[in-house]
Amino acid sequence: MQKLTELIREDMKPALGVTEPGAIAFAVASAKKYTEGKIVNVHVALNSGMYKNAFTCGIPNSERFGNYYAAALGAVAADSEKGLESLADITPEDDEKAAQMVSDGLVEVVMDHVGSEITIDAVVTTENNRCKVMIRDAHTNIVKIEKDGIVIFETEDKMYRDESRKKQARPVIHGYSLAEILRYVNTVPVEEIAFIGKAYTMNLELLKEGLASDRAVFAKKLYRENGNRIISRDALKTAQLLCNGAIEARVLGLSRPAMSITGSGAHGIIATMPLYAYRHANEDKTDDETLWRATALSYLITMYIKEYSGRLSAFCGCGIAAGTGMACGLAYLQGADGEKHTKVIQNMASGLTGMICDGGNHGCTMKGIVAVDAAFRATDMAMDDICIENIHGINGRTPEATMKYMGMIASPGMTGTEKTIVEIMESKK
């Protein structure tokens, strides 16, 4: 299996609801299983991106939302063995118990620093024990567990302790140029990437869940605009429905998972569903094999930008990183060469890079709508050899440089913006 195939396979994961509440619940549940007796306190410390993304997002199988309730549900009934789907089996009784914990003041959730790399420190204190679980860099990557002051687990990779070494470590994806990524996409045996098809099956089920829910208002509007059909011959309207109907269902906390990429369900949805829409609105022009190759390209471009911006930052990685990946996928479906893909990236960098992230919430649906429109337009322009030239703005002399600069706008560029966003959100408590 080729290295880039492994990278995609390892990164594709089902995620129930917004990823951050699932990660918080997972962390708390992982700590609770090492304790006995009545819970006295649950304390969770998060980096700004985690804190912000979970702040007002829906929680699967719950009538509540936000990081306090995610932490409480982690203590009450989440299943740590299910990773990012830890909240899959929550019952109404569990939901009420968690709400009571929050009401009784037994749950604390704080932002301990502004930063784009994922950090979760979850401490569960009971009458008998105290257990702390530390997560770093990925939503379920436990690096250390302490029980009653004694370390009972610590990862062999100690890089999480050494910030300078982490900054020096080069992400695998950055070892490839756009030309090399395209060569891989064009030549990888199709059976090696056929697993990508699972993303479409999962994300379509999530969309259907949204269409059936009384809570999903954007999905129904987009469905009407698409002629009351899930798939029409209008690729853009179909893309808006498939993509943003699924995103809405996810941020509302409905009960089906999304296939995530770079640790985010919305990234995974944006990187895939408009491509599915284009393929099925133009069945006479493309096939499933080409769709899977286009999706592999979309995923890899998304990863390339996200490794510069950080997993969670002040810019909307869903729209900017996954949107740019998806735009490249659209161009691939239309037979683009490397030069046209470069133009797609330059158009997206110039048009969308300033979009902020103000958490995982209903607003993600509107950001997804903007990203799909931008991607279709950027691709149409590039296919006609129209683009924002590399002398302008943050565009680089190479597509690799442009993607790097897009990421740098988020981290370190928008650290102050992140702080301001969180302050605004906290002022509305």
Look up tokens 């592999």; give the residue: 296
Overall CATH class of domain 170-427: mainly alpha
283 CB contacts (<8 Å, ≥6 apart)?
A: none
Among left, alpha and beta (phi > 0; psi -120 to 50; other), residue 227 is left
In the structure, what pLDDT confidence band is assigned to residue 163 with cuts at 50, 70 and 90?
low
Q: What is the pTM of this model?
A: 0.90
| pLDDT more than 90, % of the chain | 84
Q: Above 80 in pLDDT, residue 341?
A: yes
DSSP 227-291: TS-SS-S-HHHHHHHHHHHHHHHHHTT-SSEEEEBTTBHHHHHHHHHHHHHHHHHTTTT--HHHH
Query: What are the residue ranges of helices labelled H in 128-264?
Result: 163-168, 178-187, 197-212, 217-225, 235-251
pLDDT at position 413 is 92
Q: Where are the domains of the chain?
A: 15-166, 170-427
Query: Which pLDDT value is given to residue 283?
Result: 83
* CB-CB neighbours of 109 under 10 Å: 24
Mean pLDDT, residues 327-346 = 98
> What fold is seen in the domain 15-166?
60s Ribosomal Protein L30; Chain: A; (3.30.1330)
Q: How far apart are CA 320 and CA 403, in angstroms?
A: 10
CA 421 to chain centre: 19
- The pLDDT value recorded for residue 221 is 98
φ, ψ of residue 260 to 5 degrees: the values are -85, 160
Band (165; pLDDT cuts 50, 70, 90): low
Decide if 18 contacts 54 (C-beta within 8 A): yes
Kindly tell me if the per-residue pLDDT of 152 is higher than 80. Answer: yes
What is the model's pLDDT at position 284?
A: 81
Of 78, 4, 95, whose CA–CA distance to 44 is shortest?
Answer: 78
pLDDT at res. 164: 54
Contact call for residues 126 and 37 (beta carbons, < 8 A)? yes
15-166 and 170-427 in the same fold = no
Quick check: 119 pLDDT over 60? yes
